[in-house]
Amino acid sequence: MNNINLEINIAGIKLKNPVIAASGCFGFGREYSRYFDLNRLGGIAVKGLTKLARKGNPPPRIAETPSGILNSVGLQNPGVKTFIEKEIPFLRSYGIAIIANASGNTIEDYEYMVEILSSADVDGIELNLSCPNVKEGCMSFGSTSNGVFEVVSRVKKKAGKPLIVKLTPNVTDITEIARAAETAGADSVSLINTLLGMAIDAKTKRPILGNVTGGLSGPAVKPIALRMVYQVSKAVKIPIIGMGGISNGTDAVEFLLAGASAVMLGTAGFVNPMAWVETIEGLEKYMIENNVKSVTELIGGLIA
């Protein structure tokens, strides 16, 4: 037996370890439960939810790229009420934190989502601000500090659970966006969401994705994600959940050293369904080998 402590508290969300399944890549956990015991996880950020069910974008929705994938799934989901009725009971059969990911096309959508989820049996709410604001010409809510401040300050009034604001990297200054979220009342921030990209089939001269553009994720984005987590850690005082290209324990340690208090894995699971478990085991091994008693000792420990 070892005496290491992997427990972490993110703005009131208690995690047995800092490894969380990222939204959009883990569904509601049912499929991956066939591969490993979900109790091993610190938590699950469920698939992005909307007020009503969505069918998503036209196919093809996935395109493989060097060291990553592009996706344009389009938030296909059964709707928030179906999630509450059918998926929460399944997830509550495990001893893990449940983080609901909320999306919308108007501020009123977000207010509705946060209010209904605050009454549900979840541990926290992750606000996806990469959605298009239909009232502002479909510009992403998260692309400007004013937009972030407006939506977060409004929904915070409805939030009865810890509010995590998920930041898009498709901005000029990520620290400005993070500070706006913190000032507006965010309890935590998670970053990075996917980078906007596209793929073209030279033979057909057509876009590979049905929606033309999509979000890039996977190992290719890790250096950018690390840099942004590090910068945001110097700009805000609220906890940071880092993500972007994490595939193993070493990657997780790097994000913790950069200033994250927890990490999310997503795309890695498409290649290796055991990526989450192996990341936890890799983190444990690192701590034992380096005489780190508590995972909190690693947070922000970068020597620069």
95 with 39: CB under 8 angstroms?
Answer: yes
Half-sphere exposure of 11 (CA within 13 A, CB side): 25
Which 8-state DSSP code applies to residue 83?
Answer: I
Going from the C-alpha of 65 to that of each of 62, 75, 217, 221, 288, the distances in angstroms are: 10, 21, 9, 11, 36
Question: Which spans in the chain are helix H?
Answer: 80-82, 88-91, 107-118, 145-156, 174-184, 222-233, 249-258, 268-271, 275-289
Catalytic hit among 38, 113, 125, 131: 131
178 with 189: CB under 8 angstroms?
Answer: yes
Residues in the chain: 304
To the query of whether residue 25 is one of the catalytic residues in this protein, the response is no
Give the active site residues. Answer: 131
